[in-house]
């Protein structure tokens, strides 16, 4: 038993729903109690889908439990097939139905349904949403994809994008563009907008572009093994990663690596002098492994940030993120406990958080700006405009998105110079945001115990610290305490503050 | 007071009820935690359930809540399913940790879920055991918010009902108002009744556990919400007596509700008139303004909040709408009869749901306004229908006179918005504005 306030991932059957809802012509019959239909709103409200997810729930109740819940499942399954006439069905159980052990797969298999029925075994009490997406897509591919003759021209399958994904809709466009430059056309995109029939054609592709390892790695490995289709290991988020991706694809397909950089503005935007103030901004990264891995590289190599913390919530990728942490000289945080993440961020006192919807909450509470880089995300992260993360345009979008929450460069200088101005002061927050930044709660008042000991601030040092603008105060406090502790001091004076400042000067 | 509640024509009270069983598109009772934890400020709601429960609470609430919530889910794991004794130990450990982290908590609700009920985890026993450990600082209660036992607002009913046996005994003649309402609305009710000389007035649930009301044979109570059937029975078991009335939505509902209480407390007509005339007039004016676009429009309620019957009464009688179907998850006749009495016969009354068949009926009649859950609203809008999310009715102050105009406004806004938006004005190709995604 584990106490959870907010969760990064839903249960695994929600992962299966994300695959089913991303596709067309597929229907999911879910053995689940009344109430589990809440999951529909994730798609219709958060993602603003204009149709119901293709899911029929048995919605059994207490009075059904002593009776024939298996009968209810069969009736529901037949009814769903008759009404929706899908090309294929997936069947499975939610957490409660798993306990009553009706075996939806067996029941549906014994029925006379004239289309492929794929049974899902998603252990609700061990696994989570991302396992559900990966396993569901793998099972669909395993049942539907066949070895077949390759297309005469070089074609690629884009695998991994699905419903409720962070910018999947636009990433597809962007990756298609990158491939098109090299003369590679598209065989199948899946699960996004694919039909079960499309999945049967996967085998004629020459290469699988594994866009999101979280959702399609099992399927990619399976296709490599059984269909002989190699898959890409580079996820093209960021300028460097996109260059690497192009080289990798060209290598696999035996084509000339080509790139049209005419729309890529990010490198100049990052190099132009206005961006100087971004130098060494301390950022904390948290999200799914793929987005954190790519964001870490962008943060360090393409924005000039200082990555002071990173981690992911999907344990399946823990090892690779721990390795990434070592590469950055920090210990990666692998947890799905929101409170642990909050604590780690509070201790690291970054100047910006790059995270998920949850970290947006944390940032709000701690008064730290936050940009979203990964699912889970909310309605505002499904923009009407084209806003990919991948490819050249993705790099542009990321630059804008990450800079937006920050106080602008010149403004930062003015705030430092005229911090006593009654109108133009740091508590007013970035001037291009309508509302004042929330007052930091918990950060400033509570001494940060970086080294474990309690550091006492003398009143004059505390006053001096307050003269440092809010966006730099957390860093200054932390550095000073670290410096003081290293010097064996128990108390911070004004001199300690400035000595620490000199020590850490860059 | 010359308001007549007598209806001579046939009403909905004896109308046949359409009962269908199929997929039910409703929330489970856990959803009530989203408003209950805000109402009871020293209470914590600990759901003993699965990741699905936690995900539901955050998906249904995530849209609205950004503060640290006073609720959480103790997620059952593989090991908990194997040995029941272990599950109780685990629960004790999680409760200890929680109460340690939140010393401000005075009431802890262990909330049962579908999985905890299927594995027959005895939360009543756990609550007793934990009460012994943490009394008198914390009182531990339990109820079920599971989808196999409850729908949506029934969770509040189960919660309040669980509190009733623990209320202190009282012989005082007191009026108890039952139902979790926003403070602004509760204060209005208390102020109106106070001005009539009705009192003392207590509320269940009280904002803090120390203020919980007593109950006994001299207690009379009035419900603020139509979904509190179990709580009513629990209060009646303690000897309290219910004042039956239509629910206080709109000018008419509020007046009839207040009048029933006024009669119980022998308030004379002149006093009643003096206290209510100004707010009644204001309410009528507000409703007239807000309901202009509702007059003559048809409405279809899918089953959701259990407010469907009283709201239909308001919309039909005060806003001039025509009801096509009034769907509810379940009908508690004893509570909604006074409202059914006031709705002229005509609309289909349905209980339970087969969502696909109900959607077929909606597509056949194409109502001007469909009240439905969040999962269905956008899909129906994409089919050209206008919708109102039912959940907003539970999260918005809509009771009593001063909110009557707002209540009408909740229904008129989608229609006004439909008239405001002119997508075809954006380009010369009206046939191309297919819904994008």
Q: How far is B266 from B272, CA to CA, in rounded Å?
A: 10
Mutate to test the interface with A, among B74, B90, B117, B147 (most CBs of A within 10 A): B147
Q: What is the CA radius of gyration of chain B?
A: 23
Per-residue confidence band for B14, with pLDDT thresholds at 50, 70 and 90: confident
Show which of residues 334-393 on chain B sit within 8 Å of chain A, judged by CB atoms: 356, 373-379, 381-382
Peptide bond into A400 cis (omega under 30): no
The highest-level CATH class for domain B29-150 is alpha beta
Is pLDDT of A447 > 80?
A: no
Residues near B133 by beta carbon (within 8 Å), at least 6 away in sequence? B92
Per-residue model confidence (pLDDT) at position B358: 97
CATH number of A449-505: 1.10.8.550
Asked if A374 contacts A166 with a C-beta cutoff of 8 angstroms, the reply is: yes
Is pLDDT of A229 > 60?
A: yes
Is pLDDT of B211 > 80?
A: yes
Show which of residues 274-333 on chain A sit within 8 Å of chain B, judged by CB atoms: none
Is pLDDT of A421 > 70?
A: no
Q: Do B437 and A49 touch (CB under 8 A)?
A: yes
Q: How far is B218 from B171, CA to CA, in rounded Å?
A: 6
Q: Does A149 touch chain B (CB under 8 A)?
A: no
Residue A42 with chain B: CB contacts under 8 Å = 59
Q: What is the CA radius of gyration of chain A?
A: 26
Residue A45 with chain B: CB contacts under 8 Å = 63, 374-375, 377-378
The CATH number of domain B3-24+283-423 is 3.40.50.300:
no
Q: How far is A410 from A396, CA to CA, in rounded Å?
A: 21
Annotated active-site positions of A, please? 274
Residue A10 with chain B: CB contacts under 8 Å = 51-52, 55, 59
Residue A11 with chain B: CB contacts under 8 Å = 50-52, 55
Per-residue model confidence (pLDDT) at position A151: 97
Residue A361 with chain B: CB contacts under 8 Å = 66
Is pLDDT of B386 > 70?
A: yes
Q: Residue range A361-372: average pLDDT?
A: 90
Per-residue model confidence (pLDDT) at position B4: 46
**ipTM score assigned to the predicted complex:** 0.92
Is pLDDT of A7 > 80?
A: yes
User: How far are the Cα atoms of A235, A243, A291, A309, A310 from residue A327, in angstroms, in the given order?
Assistant: 18, 21, 16, 12, 11
Is pLDDT of B34 > 60?
A: yes
Residue A3 with chain B: CB contacts under 8 Å = 46, 72-75, 94, 97-98
Q: For residue range A112-151, list pLDDT tens digits in order.
A: 999 999 999 999 999 999 999 999 999 999 999 999 999 9
Per-residue model confidence (pLDDT) at position A449: 40
Write down the domain spans for chain B.
3-24+283-423, 29-150, 174-282
The highest-level CATH class for domain A145-253 is alpha beta
Calculate how close chain B gets to A336, using CA atoms only, in Å: 12
Q: Do A35 and B114 touch (CB under 8 A)?
A: yes
CA angle, A306 then A308 then A309, to 5°: 135
Percent of all residues in chain A with a pLDDT value above 70, rounded to a whole number = 91
Residue positions counted in chain B: 437
H or E stretch at A136 = helix A129-144
Residue A34 with chain B: CB contacts under 8 Å = 24, 26, 28, 147-148, 151
Q: Residue range B147-154: average pLDDT?
A: 94
Which of residues A448 and A146 earns the better pLDDT score?
A146
Residues near B266 by beta carbon (within 8 Å), at least 6 away in sequence? none
Work out the number of other CB atoms within 10 angstroms of the CB of residue B281. 12
Q: For residue range A469-479, list pLDDT tens digits in order.
A: 776 777 788 88
Question: What share of residues in chain A are helix, strand, coil (percent, to 5)?
Answer: 50, 15, 40
Write down the domain spans for chain A.
12-129, 145-253, 266-414, 449-505
Is pLDDT of A420 > 60?
A: no
Q: Residue range A400-425: average pLDDT?
A: 71
Per-residue model confidence (pLDDT) at position A439: 47
Nearest to A99 among B115, B373, B437 (CB): B115
- Please state at what angle helix A239-253 crosses helix A289-297, rounded to 10 degrees: 110
* Superfamily covering domain A12-129: Nitrogenase molybdenum iron protein domain (3.40.50.1980)
Q: Do B81 and A45 touch (CB under 8 A)?
A: no
Q: Does B402 touch chain A (CB under 8 A)?
A: no
Q: Do B174-282 and B3-24+283-423 have the same topology in CATH?
A: yes
Is pLDDT of A233 > 70?
A: yes
Q: Does A85 touch chain B (CB under 8 A)?
A: no
Is pLDDT of B437 > 80?
A: no
Helices of type H across A286-425 = 289-297, 318-327, 338-348, 357-366, 391-403, 409-417
Mutate to test the interface with A, among B20, B24, B46, B51 (most CBs of A within 10 A): B51
Show which of residues 32-51 on chain B sit within 8 Å of chain A, judged by CB atoms: 46, 48, 50-51
Peptide bond into B205 cis (omega under 30): yes
Q: For residue range A15-50, list pLDDT tens digits in order.
A: 999 999 999 999 999 999 999 999 999 999 999 999
Closest-CA residue to B28 (of A92, A466, A223, A38): A38
Per-residue model confidence (pLDDT) at position A407: 75
Q: Residue range A484-491: average pLDDT?
A: 88
Nearest to B28 among A1, A34, A52 (CB): A34
**CATH architecture designation of domain A266-414:** 3-Layer(aba) Sandwich (3.40)
Q: Residue range A1-5: average pLDDT?
A: 87
Q: How far is B211 from B36, CA to CA, in rounded Å?
A: 16
Q: For residue range B61-112, list pLDDT tens digits in order.
A: 665 455 667 999 999 988 888 766 688 899 999 999 999 988 999 999 999 9
Is pLDDT of A432 > 80?
A: no
Q: How far is B394 from B391, CA to CA, in rounded Å?
A: 5
> A316-328 in b/e burial notation, b at 16+ Cβ within 10 A?
bbbebbbebbeeb
CATH number of B174-282: 3.40.50.1980
Question: Which residues are bridge partners to A57 per DSSP?
Answer: A30
Q: Residue range A401-412: average pLDDT?
A: 81
H or E stretch at A2 = strand A2-4
Q: Residue range A490-506: average pLDDT?
A: 83
Per-residue model confidence (pLDDT) at position B269: 97
DSSP state of A353: E
Question: Which residues are bridge partners to A371 per DSSP?
Answer: A354
Per-residue model confidence (pLDDT) at position B171: 95
Mean pLDDT of chain B, nearest integer: 91
Percent of all residues in chain A with a pLDDT value above 90, rounded to a whole number = 74
Q: Residue range B405-416: average pLDDT?
A: 96
Q: Does B137 touch chain A (CB under 8 A)?
A: no
């Amino acid at each position: 038993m584990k106490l959870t306030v907010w969760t990064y991932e839903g249960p695994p059957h929600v992962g299966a729903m994300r695959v089913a809802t991303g596709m067309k012509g597929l229907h999911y019959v879910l053995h689940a109690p009344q109430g589990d239909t809440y999951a529909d709103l994730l798609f219709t409200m958060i993602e603003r889908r204009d149709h119901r997810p293709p899911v029929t729930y048995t919605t059994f109740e207490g009075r059904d439990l002593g009776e024939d819940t298996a009968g209810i499942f069969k009736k529901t399954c037949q009814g769903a097939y008759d009404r929706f006439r899908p090309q294929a069905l997936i069947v499975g159980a939610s957490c409660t139905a798993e306990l009553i052990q009706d075996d939806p797969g067996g029941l549906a298999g014994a029925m006379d349904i004239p289309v492929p029925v794929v049974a899902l075994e998603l252990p609700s009490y061990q696994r989570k949403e991302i396992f559900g997406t990966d396993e569901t897509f793998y099972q669909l591919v395993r049942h539907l994809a066949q070895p077949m003759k390759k297309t005469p021209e070089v074609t690629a399958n884009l695998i991994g994008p699905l419903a409720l994904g962070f910018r999947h809709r636009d990433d597809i466009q962007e990756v298609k563009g990158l491939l098109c430059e090299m003369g590679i056309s598209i065989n199948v995109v899946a699960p996004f907008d694919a039909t079960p029939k499309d999945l049967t054609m996967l085998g004629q592709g020459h290469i699988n572009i594994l866009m999101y390892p979280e959702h399609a790695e099992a399927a990619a490995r399976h296709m490599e093994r059984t269909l002989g289709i190699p898959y890409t290991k580079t996820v093209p988020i960021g300028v460097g990663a996109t260059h690497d991706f192009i080289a990798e694809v060209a290598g696999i397909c035996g084509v000339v690596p080509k790139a049209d950089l005419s729309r890529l503005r990010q490198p100049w935007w990052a190099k132009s002098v206005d961006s100087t103030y971004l130098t060494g901004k301390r950022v904390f990264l948290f999200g799914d492994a793929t987005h954190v891995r790519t964001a870490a590289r962008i943060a360090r190599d393409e924005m000039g940030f200082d990555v002071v913390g990173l981690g992911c919530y999907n344990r399946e990728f823990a090892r690779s993120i721990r390795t990434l942490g070592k590469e950055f000289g920090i210990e990666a945080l692998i947890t799905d406990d929101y409170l642990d993440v909050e604590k780690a961020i509070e201790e690291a006192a970054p100047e910006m958080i790059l995270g998920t919807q949850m970290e947006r909450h944390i940032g709000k509470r701690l008064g730290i700006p936050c940009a979203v880089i990964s699912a889970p995300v909310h309605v505002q992260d499904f923009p009407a405009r084209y806003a990919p993360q991948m490819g050249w345009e993705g790099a542009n979008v990321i630059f804008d998105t990450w800079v937006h929450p920050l106080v602008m460069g010149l403004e930062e200088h003015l705030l430092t110079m005229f911090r006593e101005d009654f109108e133009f002061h740091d508590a007013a927050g970035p001037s291009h945001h309508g509302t004042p930044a929330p007052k930091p709660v918990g950060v400033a008042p509570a001494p940060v115990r970086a080294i474990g000991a309690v550091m006492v601030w003398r009143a004059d040092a505390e006053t001096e610290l307050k003269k440092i603008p809010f966006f730099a105060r957390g860093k200054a406090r932390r550095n000073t305490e670290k410096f003081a502790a290293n010097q064996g001091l128990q108390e911070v004076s004004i001199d300690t503050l400035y000595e620490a400042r000199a020590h850490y000067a860059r | 007071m010359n308001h007549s509640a007598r209806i001579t024509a046939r009403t909905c009270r004896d109308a046949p009820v359409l009962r269908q069983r199929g997929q039910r598109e409703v929330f489970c009772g856990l959803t009530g935690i989203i408003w209950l934890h805000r109402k009871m400020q020293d209470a914590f709601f600990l759901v003993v359930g699965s990741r699905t429960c936690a995900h539901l609470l955050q998906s249904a609430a995530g849209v609205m809540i950004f503060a640290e919530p006073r609720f959480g889910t103790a997620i059952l794991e593989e090991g908990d399913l194997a040995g029941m004794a272990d599950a109780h130990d685990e629960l004790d450990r999680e409760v200890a940790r929680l109460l340690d982290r939140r010393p401000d908590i005075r009431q802890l609700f262990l909330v049962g879920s579908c999985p905890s009920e299927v594995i027959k985890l005895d939360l009543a026993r756990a609550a007793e055991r934990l009460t012994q450990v943490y009394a008198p600082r914390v009182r531990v209660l339990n109820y079920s918010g599971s989808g196999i036992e409850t729908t949506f607002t029934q969770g509040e009913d189960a919660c309040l009902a669980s509190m009733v046996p623990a209320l202190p005994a009282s012989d005082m003649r007191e009026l108890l108002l039952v139902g979790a309402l926003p403070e602004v609305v509760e204060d209005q009710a208390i102020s109106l009744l106070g001005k009539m000389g009705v009192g003392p007035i207590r509320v269940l649930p009280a904002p803090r556990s120390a203020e919980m009301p007593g109950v006994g044979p001299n207690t009379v109570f009035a419900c603020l919400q139509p979904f509190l059937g179990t709580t009513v029975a629990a209060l009646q078991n303690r000897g309290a007596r219910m004042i039956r009335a239509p629910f206080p939505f709109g000018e008419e509902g509020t007046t009839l509700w207040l009048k029933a209480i006024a009669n119980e407390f022998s308030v004379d007509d002149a006093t009643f008139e003096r206290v209510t005339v100004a707010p009644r007039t204001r309410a009528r004016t507000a409703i007239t303004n807000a309901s202009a676009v509702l007059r003559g429009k048809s409405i279809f309620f899918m089953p959701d909040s259990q407010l469907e019957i009283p709201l239909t009464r308001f919309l039909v009688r005060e806003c001039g709408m025509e009801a096509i179907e009034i769907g509810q998850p379940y009908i508690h006749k004893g509570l909604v009869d006074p409202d059914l009495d006031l709705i002229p016969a005509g609309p289909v009354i349905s209980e339970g749901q087969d969502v696909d068949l109900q959607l077929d009926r909606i597509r056949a009649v194409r109502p001007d306004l469909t009240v439905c859950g969040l999962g269905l609203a956008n899909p129906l809008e994409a089919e050209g229908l206008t919708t109102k999310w039912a959940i907003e009715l539970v999260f918005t102050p809509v009771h009593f006179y001063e909110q009557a105009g707002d209540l009408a406004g909740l229904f008129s806004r989608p229609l006004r918005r439909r008239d405001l938006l002119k997508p075809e004005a954006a380009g010369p190709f009206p046939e191309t504005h297919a819904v994008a995604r």
